[in-house]
Structure 1
Amino acid sequence: MVNVRHVKVKNLLSPTKLGADFVINPYIGCPHGCHYCYAAGITRERGGRAEPWGTFLDVKHPAVPFDPAKIFHKEILLSSMTDAYNPYEERAQATRAILRSLLPAQPDITIITKSALVTRDIDLFKEFPHVKVIVSFSSLDDGFRRKMEPHASSPQKKFAALAALKEAGIGTSVMAAPIFPGITDCAALIEAAAPHVSEMNFDTLNLRNQNRESILAIVNTLRPELTGLYNEIYRQWRKDYWQTLRGEIKDNCRRFAVRASVFF
């Protein structure tokens, strides 16, 4: 059960340095409930909802509409602190309404999501000068996905969404993040994604004080044979694992003619 509120905010636009001019987060919280999500701790630090992550959602309603002159032909990211296509979006259509209101300014749009629901808005995407949808994967193992990110779309549905987006002429990319050592099969993910994308991004699983023990406990339960590896990486700060993986990722991306951006 997700506790949903509707809240008034001053505006939806925030300046960002995340590869765009502005970021829009239509919601506070995210029903995908990913156990590793960095936004959970940040939301609490900023005085947001205190319930367990994944059990609450605030739908934002801005006090003033977008100023088209301010965002004319700018670059806008959806989103950095929530998933604009979380399961509740199917009902609320907050993200779809935002896209409609952005159309007069004709900005470039980048979307990061774990949801196949993104294909619903292909009709709107075609009305912008450029839209790129980045679909995020942490694993191809759907059993692991159900435990670690319980309400995100399955890998199979994500690949179907990528195929539909590409067929519609929408820009596509894949983000392999977070990479779980010994669980995320980057080579298999690159091979599976290559027919749908020309670029991929890769980032590590970064554990923070507020989620370190809970994530390690989940991994220990699901994959006890990896306990030693995770202790080496996250308690003894072993570095060579990521250095080796970086080389393997670049080799496999070259093999499949995929551009790689590795953030570790």
Structure 2
Amino acid sequence: MSVRLDTKRDPDGGWYDRYVELVDDEGRVVKEFGKNPTLNELREAEREYGERINLWQQGLICSDCGNQINERFSADLEGNLLCWDCASEEDSSDQSGLRVNADPTKSVLSESKLYEKSLCDYVINVATGCRHGCKFCYVPSTPAIQNREEMLGDKAGVEDGQQEWGSYLLYRDDLPERLNEGLQDNPWEDWDKTDRGRGVVMLSSGTDCYQDKRAAQITRSCVHELVSNDVPVRILTRSPNLLRDMDLFRKAGEYVTVGMSIPSFDDELVRAMEPNAPPPMQRWKALEKLSKNQVRRFVSFSPTYPTMDEEEIHEALSWFSALGPEVVFHEPINPRGANFEMCVEAAENAGRQQLADDLRSMEDESIWKEYALEHIKLVRDCARRFDNIQIHSWPSRDLVRATKGETRSWLLTLREEVSPEQHPQ
């Protein structure tokens, strides 16, 4: 059954004073929203009926100024719809210590160098910022944050995008509508594709696309738009919230691959480095449910820490083996930028002094090189003990530059490999 929004004018009200309904393809009312449905109600109806509901030019009204929503929009903290003019004038709201607002980003889908890791050719980020606040996250050091200091200051009072990572989040609520428009003008067949990225679109590289309900709603709508246009999608998250979209994943079949980032099963370590993210076992259990529902899945075993020995790595891989993943991506931690110093501080604050000392020692490039090479080899060697784990290693450019001879050639070979997954062409 296909559904769409419909509005009926209130005869006792003004022109834009209308009742909003959801009707099927024969015009029968299947759901009544009343006069002012919230964005949450509208997006949840998509999930309830398994259909995309485009919110542009549907007679929906801005809760602030009363104008019709025909182009960009957002919502306030209570979910009331706002036209873009009103949303742009909103001050950030505090949500349990998280500064929340609308993201003015104009881009919808961006080309990405993550094809170098065989992840994707394009990325979609459903928000700017991330509530997880992972200490090792590289995103605050990228142009997406560093070149937007003025915007982040205006929209969320951010003074230091790196140090405040985890305390601000700007949502891109109208992203599905803009994606729909873009896909009509630029079909996937015409996109540029690389051999390693294979035209895959990833959600998300700069934020967790399932970190909360609002982000999850944007994600579902975007994934629906993409797979409906035969675009292969990769989802990477740390949140079991992804299970809310099991129906969509099952329906999408080969067009969706879903992965979890699980760097360790040491709860204390993960809590120190990823202070607001769900525990690792919750992530594993979510992947287990995907496995039972035959949804394509992968694991990001990244970053691994210098205190992790062969026994701990083997144990983690044994848990991954039980999931039957198509691939396990692996990357050792890289001591770069201000985020690395934040990792050292987090380890010290958590009482993990050995980890803090090991991390700090890696500021010496030779020590870091020795650790990184050891872990790449160790993970790959341990994986050979399982008949259903394929490792795709991510040696960084820094590591390649720090090596020579046969070791450099080996690392370059790993960098050029294509992950073993099969994606629609």
With the length of structure 1 as denominator, give the TM-score of the two structures. Answer: 0.90
Say whether residues 1:261 and 2:406 are aligned partners: no
Name the structure 2 match of 1:35: 135
Specify the SS of the correspondent of 1:119.
helix
Partner deviation per Cα, 1:174-214 (whole Å, 9 max, x = no partner) = 11111111048322211111010242111021232322322
Q: 1:157 to 1:226 in 2, by over 3 A?
A: closer
Q: State the Cα distance separating 1:56 from its structure 2 match.
A: 0.7
Q: Could you list the runs of 4 or more consecutive aligned residues of structure 1 that deviate by over 4 angstroms after TM superposition? A: none
Contact 2:213 2:241 in 1 (8 A): no
Identify which of 237, 241, 249 aligns with 2:366. Answer: 237
Amino acid at match of 1:5: N
Q: 1:236 to 1:242 in 2, by over 3 A?
A: closer
Amino acid at match of 1:211: N
Distance in 2 between residues matched to 1:101 and 1:198, nearest whole Å: 24
Partner deviation per Cα, 1:53-96 (whole Å, 9 max, x = no partner) = 11111111348333246243652111111111112536x61111
Name the structure 2 match of 1:75: 200
Q: State the Cα distance separating 1:142 from its structure 2 match.
A: 1.1
Name the structure 2 match of 1:14: 110
Say whether residues 1:2 and 2:91 are aligned partners: no
Q: 1:219 to 1:71 in 2, by over 3 A?
A: farther
Contact 1:176 1:186 in 2 (8 A): no
Identify which of 217, 235, 253 aligns with 2:345. Answer: 217
Distance in 2 between residues matched to 1:69 and 1:22, nearest whole Å: 17
Name the structure 2 match of 1:56: 168
Q: 1:70 to 1:168 in 2, by over 3 A?
A: farther
Distance in 1 between residues matched to 2:379 and 2:103, nearest whole Å: 43
Identify which of 284, 292, 313 aligns with 1:159. Answer: 284
Partner deviation per Cα, 1:112-154 (whole Å, 9 max, x = no partner) = 1111111111111223242111211122111222221122121
Distance in 2 between residues matched to 1:30 and 1:110, nearest whole Å: 19
Q: 1:261 to 1:104 in 2, by over 3 A?
A: closer
Q: State the Cα distance separating 1:237 from its structure 2 match.
A: 3.2
Q: State the Cα distance separating 1:9 from its structure 2 match.
A: 3.4
Contact 2:250 2:295 in 1 (8 A): yes
Say whether residues 1:179 and 2:179 are aligned partners: no
Distance in 2 between residues matched to 1:149 and 1:227, nearest whole Å: 15
Contact 2:135 2:340 in 1 (8 A): no
Structure 1 portions without partners, runs of 5+: none
Identify which of 90, 96, 113 aligns with 2:220. Answer: 96
After TM superposition, the structure 1 stretch with the greater mean CA deviation from structure 2, 169-178 or 39-48, is: 39-48
Name the structure 2 match of 1:131: 256
- Higher relative CO (Cα under 8 Å, sequence separation at least 6) belongs to 1
Paired positions, count: 263
Specify the SS of the correspondent of 1:211.
helix
Q: State the Cα distance separating 1:228 from its structure 2 match.
A: 4.1
Distance in 1 between residues matched to 2:238 and 2:294, nearest whole Å: 20
Q: 1:169 to 1:45 in 2, by over 3 A?
A: same
Contact 2:223 2:233 in 1 (8 A): no
Say whether residues 1:45 and 2:146 are aligned partners: yes
Distance in 2 between residues matched to 1:206 and 1:241, nearest whole Å: 10
Distance in 2 between residues matched to 1:21 and 1:211, nearest whole Å: 26
Say whether residues 1:111 and 2:219 are aligned partners: no
Q: 1:153 to 1:250 in 2, by over 3 A?
A: same
After TM superposition, the structure 1 stretch with the greater mean CA deviation from structure 2, 249-258 or 221-230, is: 221-230
With the length of structure 2 as denominator, give the TM-score of the two structures. Answer: 0.58
Amino acid at match of 1:76: V
